[in-house]
Amino acid sequence: MNTDTRFLNIMKLVMAFFVMVVHFSPFKTIHPVLHFISIHGFTRIAVPFFFLSSGYLLSEQGKIPSQRLIKTLTKLIKLYLFWTFIYFPLIVLQLMNTPSSLHWSIILTRNLFFEGSFIHLWYFIASIIGLVIVTTLQRFLKTRFVFTLLILLFMLGVLGDSYYGFSMTIPYLNTFKTTLFQFINTTRNGVFFAPLFIFTGILIKQFQPNIKKQTLLLSLLFILTLSFIEIFFLRSQGWAKDYNLTFLIYPLSLISFLISLRVKVNFNTDRYRSMATTLFYIHIYAYVIIQAVLYQGDITLFRNYGLIDFSLAFLLSLVLTLFIHRYKHVRLVRELMM
C-alpha cells in the first residue's frame, strides 16, 4: 500500500471543523433532522480519526517505541494541564451551572483525572490513558488477544453510550452499567473509546492493507448509509445516552482513514496540521466570546446554538488561529498552542 501522510494533515483540519459542528450545533434552529444528522452523523468520525492518526504516526513495526511514548505522554500531560488552566474560569462556570447530587470537588477530581476537565479537553486524558493501555497490553499479549480485548471494551462502551437504554434491559448488563456509572459519567473515555482506534492505527501502519480506492469508496458509501440507519434507529428507540460510540463508527472511521492515506498531495501540509490543532484548542473560547457579545455578556447561554452564532465563532476561531500562528517563533506558542 503506497501511502502519503501529508493528506492526513488536511483531513485533521476538516476534523477540527467537524468537532466545532458537533459542539455548536449550527442547524439546531433550522431543522431538527438536519440538526440530528449534523451532530450525530459523519461528523462523529472526528475524534476516532485523531486517535487512528496517533496510533499510525507514533508506531514503528507494530509498536510505539518507549522513548517516543514517554515523549508523547509528557507532551500530552503538559498540554492538558496548560489548557485546563486556560479554561479554568469556564470549568468553574460549568460546575456552577450543572446540577448534580455529587459535590463539585468530586466531579472536578473525576473529570480532571479520568473524563476530561472540560468539554473538549477529555481528548488529552483519553489519549494518555488509551496509549498507556495499548502499550501495556502489547507487552504481555499477542496482537490478536490485544485486539479482541479492545473490541470487547469498545462494545461495552457502545452499550454504555448509544445503546445505553438497550443494555439496561438486560439484567447482568444493567447491574454492570449501574455500578459503572456510579463512578463515571460516560464511556467516552480512554478505557472504552480511545484504545481500539489507537491500536487500529498501529495495525494499519504495520500491515499496510492494500485495498483498491474504488473498493474503499464503495465501502464508505455502504457503511455511511448503514450508519445513518443505525443512528435513526437508536433515535426511534430512545436508547442513546449519547452518540459518541456506535457500532458503525469504527468501520466508518477506519475506511475514512484508509481513504485519506491513499490521497496524494504534492505540497507541504504541516501548516494545516498546526492550524487544526490550534482551532481545536481555542474554539470553545471563541464561541464564548461570541455569546458574550451577542447576549450582553451572559455566557450562561453557552448552549444557545444557531447558524449565525456558529459562523461567527468559526470565523473568530480562524482569526485567532492565524493571529497565534504569527508568533510561532515563540517557544511557548509553538509547543502549547500549535
DSSP 70-93: HHHHHHHHHHHHHHHHHTHHHHHH
One digit per residue, the tens of pLDDT, for the chain of length 338 reads 446 789 999 999 999 999 999 999 999 989 999 999 999 999 999 999 999 999 999 999 999 999 999 999 999 999 999 999 999 988 888 777 776 666 667 777 777 888 888 889 999 999 999 999 999 999 999 999 999 999 999 999 999 999 999 999 998 889 988 888 888 889 999 999 999 999 999 999 999 998 999 999 999 999 999 999 999 999 999 999 999 999 999 999 999 999 999 999 999 999 999 999 999 999 999 999 988 888 776 666 566 678 988 999 999 999 999 999 999 999 999 999 99
In this prediction, residue 7 carries a pLDDT of 95
Cell numbers of 26, please? 449550527
pLDDT at 100: 67
pLDDT number for residue 231: 98
Check residue 114 and give its pLDDT.
83
pLDDT of 303 reads 63
**Three cell numbers written together for 245:** 460510540
How far apart (Å, rounded) are the C-alpha atoms in residues 233 and 281? 33
Q: Which residues contact 192 (CB under 8 A, 6 or more apart)?
A: 153, 154, 156, 157, 160, 245
Judge contact between 316 and 286, C-beta under 8 A: yes
The answer for residues whose C-beta is within 8 angstroms of residue 3's C-beta and 6 or more apart is 208, 261, 262
pTM above 0.85, yes or no: yes
pLDDT at 3: 61
- Domain parsing of the chain, residue ranges: 1-27+268-338, 41-264
Residue from 63, 59, 60, 197 nearest 130 by CA: 197
pLDDT at 91: 86
What local confidence, expressed as pLDDT, does residue 115 receive? 85
